Amino acid sequence: LRTVIQKGLLAGELPVVTTDPNQLQEQARKAMPKAGFDYILGGAGEAATMDANRLAFRQWKIIPRVLKPTTPRDLSVTLFGQKYDVPILMAPIGVQSLFHQDKEIGVAQACAELRVPFTLSTVSQSTFEEVAAAAPGSPKWFQLYWPSDEELTASLLKRAKDNGYTALVVTLDTWTLAWRPTDLDTANVPFLVGVGDANGFSDPVFRRKFAEMSDGGTPEDNLVQAAMYWIGNTFPGVSRSWEDLKILKKHWDGPIILKGILSVEDAILAAEHGMDGIVVSNHGGRQIDGAIGTLDVLPEIVDAVGSKLTVMMDSGIRTGADILKALALGAKAVFVGRPVVYGLGINGKEGAEAVLAGLLADLDLTMGFTGVQNIGELNQSILRKIQHAG
């Protein structure tokens, strides 16, 4: 905040990326190539789930306190025995070269500047190794789209581990692509296939298996065929079973977090199967139209399993107040998706960093106005649910 005010009010230098959460999407629409922007914006069906996510946040109101000491403020949290300076993480977002040439490397560096853990998507356009080299020593997690092939799964997990990714986020709501009109109407899906994938194409197991099935061809020689083979492996088209989780436990000895949980029953099953955490998420409304808003289901999931595993959430976080509400309702941390890649699309690494810095400054201020000094003090007593609010 201080930087924005010093540069703007005092020196007449306005921010490149808007500080207004209601303007960010429109600024990105104007700044970005249409295919990239449409891919970020896209929700499933009529985007009712995206609306539900926002409405859920709007219905909770903060009750501020005054005349309480609120400095210094500490935004740190502990997840899986590891202390992190801030309670937000970068959500795994694939194919970032569609948005800006700085792609995942740029976003990882932006995250590193602010000590925000970066989650690398399986379908990224920068490899495990490139991201690790670009942001050494910064906190990094890996998100798995779970290949049908166990050997390939093991190879990806090994590379993640070898390169310093400390936690595994397994996305379970995207075993196949959803009905997303923005992609289908603009032929964005074939475009994506044509782009190919960095982690897959650089993987030794993937390369060997692709050579076997294509009579010695390399992914680079047969881009479309290799992309189809990779996508066929990473989005196997059928959901796995709870029993299969032991395959992942066999190949990963760090924390395992299931992403895409919306039901209390599934949260309980995750705990029963020895998972370390869950992300209450509807994939930013991109998978199922008409799904429940994540904040609407978060409190009951926290009630059911909050003492057994680490509950985190995402989908629809746009402001510091949103982060505060999710944490007060029991999330241990939140992931932020679209706002950061809109920032990336507008102004590369700096744009992503501006969005993240803005969110953290906004959260810090909102904590101060709410009368809390650290994240551990947040609980539901600072909130009231107003059902009729818009």
The residues annotated with a catalytic role in the active site are: 283
* 171 is a site residue for ligand FNR (CB under 6 A): yes
Shortest Å distance, C-beta 369 to ligand FNR: 23
Sign of CA dihedral 192, 196, 198, 200: positive
Q: Which stretch binds ligand FNR (CB under 6 A): 211-219, 246-254, 266-274, 331-339?
A: 331-339
Told to check if 92 binds ligand FNR by CB under 6 A, we report yes
> Distance from first CA to last CA of the chain, Å, rounded?
28
Q: Work out whether 338 is an interface residue with ligand FNR (CB under 6 A).
A: yes
CA-to-CA distance for 243 and 265, rounded, in angstroms?
Answer: 15
| Stretch of residues binding ligand FNR (CB under 6 A), selected from 57-65, 262-270, 279-287, 363-371 | 279-287
> How far is Cα 369 from Cα 199, in angstroms, rounded to an integer?
44
Q: Give bridge partners of residue 88 from the DSSP assignment.
A: 334
40 binds ligand FNR (CB under 6 A): yes
100 contacts ligand FNR (rule: CB under 6 A): no
Q: Is 284 in the site for ligand FNR (CB under 6 A)?
A: yes
d(CA 304, CA 311): 10
Q: Closest CB to ligand FNR among 39 and 210?
A: 39
- How many H-runs (helices) and E-runs (strands) does the chain carry? 17, 12
Nearest to 259 by CA among 232, 286, 220: 286
Q: How far is the CB of 93 from ligand FNR (least distance, A)?
A: 4
Work out whether 192 is an interface residue with ligand FNR (CB under 6 A).
Answer: no
Nearer to ligand FNR, 333 or 372 (CB): 333
In whole angstroms, what is the distance from residue 58 CA to residue 53 CA?
Answer: 9
| CB 230 within 8 Å of CB 201 | yes
Among positions 100, 140, 159, 283, the unique one binding ligand FNR when judged by CB under 6 A: 283
Site track 342-371 with ligand FNR (rule: CB under 6 A), x = hit: ------------------------------
Contacts 24+ apart (CB under 8 A), 126-133: 126/96, 126/198, 127/198, 127/199, 127/202, 128/159, 128/160, 128/162, 128/163, 128/165, 128/199, 129/159, 129/163, 129/202, 130/104, 130/105, 130/198, 131/104, 131/105, 131/163, 132/163, 132/164, 132/165
Least distance in angstroms from the C-beta of 40 to ligand FNR: 4
A 10 A CB-CB count for 57 gives 21
Selected from 18, 233, 281, 347, the binder of ligand FNR by CB under 6 A is 281
37, 39, 146, 210: which one binds ligand FNR (CB under 6 A):
39
- Window contacting ligand FNR (CB under 6 A); options: 108-116, 297-305, 329-337, 359-367: 329-337
Scanning 85-93, 225-233, 266-274, 372-380 for contacts with ligand FNR by CB under 6 A, the matching segment is 85-93
| Nearer Cβ to ligand FNR (3/23) | 23
Quick check: 316 binds ligand FNR (CB under 6 A)? yes
Kindly indicate which of the ranges 281-289, 358-366, 372-380, 382-390 contains the residues binding ligand FNR, using the contact rule CB under 6 A. Answer: 281-289
**C-alpha–C-alpha distance, residues 60 and 5, integer Å:** 29
* Secondary structure class of 388 (helix, strand, coil): coil
* Nearest residue relative to ligand FNR (C-beta): 337
CB of 11 to ligand FNR, least distance (A): 32
Q: Which residues pair with 60 in a beta bridge?
A: 385
Which residues within the stretch 120-159 sit at the binding site for ligand FNR (CB under 6 A)? 121, 123, 143
The reply on whether position 311 binds ligand FNR by CB under 6 A is no
Pick between residue 355 and residue 378 the one whose CB is nearest to ligand FNR: 355
Q: Report strand pairing: 383-385 vs 60-62.
A: antiparallel
Q: Report how far residue 339's alpha carbon sits from residue 373's, in angstroms, rounded to the nearest whole number.
A: 26
**Exposure string (b/e) for 338-348, b if CB count within 10 Å is 16 or more?**
bbbbbbbbbbb
User: How far apart, in whole angstroms, are the C-alpha atoms of residue 221 and residue 385?
Assistant: 57
According to CB under 6 A, which one of 110, 160, 302, 336 is a site residue for ligand FNR?
A: 336
Q: Which residues bind ligand FNR (CB under 6 A)?
A: 39-40, 91-94, 121, 123, 143, 171, 259, 281, 283-284, 286, 314-317, 335-338
